[in-house]
């Protein structure tokens, strides 16, 4: 299942901002970047959606796996984990960007989910 619209991050400006200004936590197969929300960067159609304590984008490049089916499965797996954990920041809404590194497609899904949770803990986004 995909993320609900209110939790999705879309748009090149948002992703560029997260890559440039976001704080990063690196794991062996995942990178978590996060930044306090900046609603003025949202595209107009996303501003219409109900405000959310977090929004997220998941990046799975062709280097992770050749087949789109496998990349989409990994993306949905991580999105579902985020829905289960409900990350939040004490100082207001937060934007997240999860990027998978090459080689992560061969890793056990439970290990990837554990690493995702560990990165969120290290960033202080879940209790």
- pLDDT tens, residue order, the chain (127 aa): 678 888 888 888 889 999 999 999 999 999 999 999 887 777 777 777 667 888 899 999 999 999 999 999 999 999 999 988 888 777 788 999 999 999 999 999 999 999 999 999 999 888 8
Report the alpha-carbon distance of residue 122 to residue 117 in Å, rounded: 9
Residue 62 is predicted with a pLDDT of 94
Q: Where are the chain's structural domains?
A: 5-123
Q: What is the CATH number of domain 5-123?
A: 3.30.230.10
Report the alpha-carbon distance of residue 34 to residue 84 in Å, rounded: 18
Angle at which helices 68-85 and 109-123 cross, to 10°: 50
Residue 5 is predicted with a pLDDT of 83
Report the alpha-carbon distance of residue 88 to residue 54 in Å, rounded: 6
Residue 93 burial by CB count (10 A; 0-12/13-18/19+): exposed, middle or buried?
A: middle
């Amino acid at each position: 299942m995909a993320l609900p619209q209110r939790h999705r991050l879309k748009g090149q400006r948002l992703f560029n901002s997260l890559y440039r200004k976001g704080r990063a936590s690196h794991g062996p197969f995942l990178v978590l970047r996060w930044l306090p929300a900046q609603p003025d960067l949202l595209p107009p159609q996303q501003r219409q959606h109900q405000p959310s304590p977090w929004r997220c984008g998941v990046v799975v490049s062709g280097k992770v796996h050749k087949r789109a089916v496998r990349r989409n499965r990994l993306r949905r797996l991580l999105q579902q984990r985020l829905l289960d954990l409900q990350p939040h920041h004490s100082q207001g809404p937060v934007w997240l960007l999860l990027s998978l590194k090459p080689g992560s497609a061969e890793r056990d899904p439970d290990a990837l989910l554990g690493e995702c949770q560990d990165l969120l803990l290290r960033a202080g986004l879940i209790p």
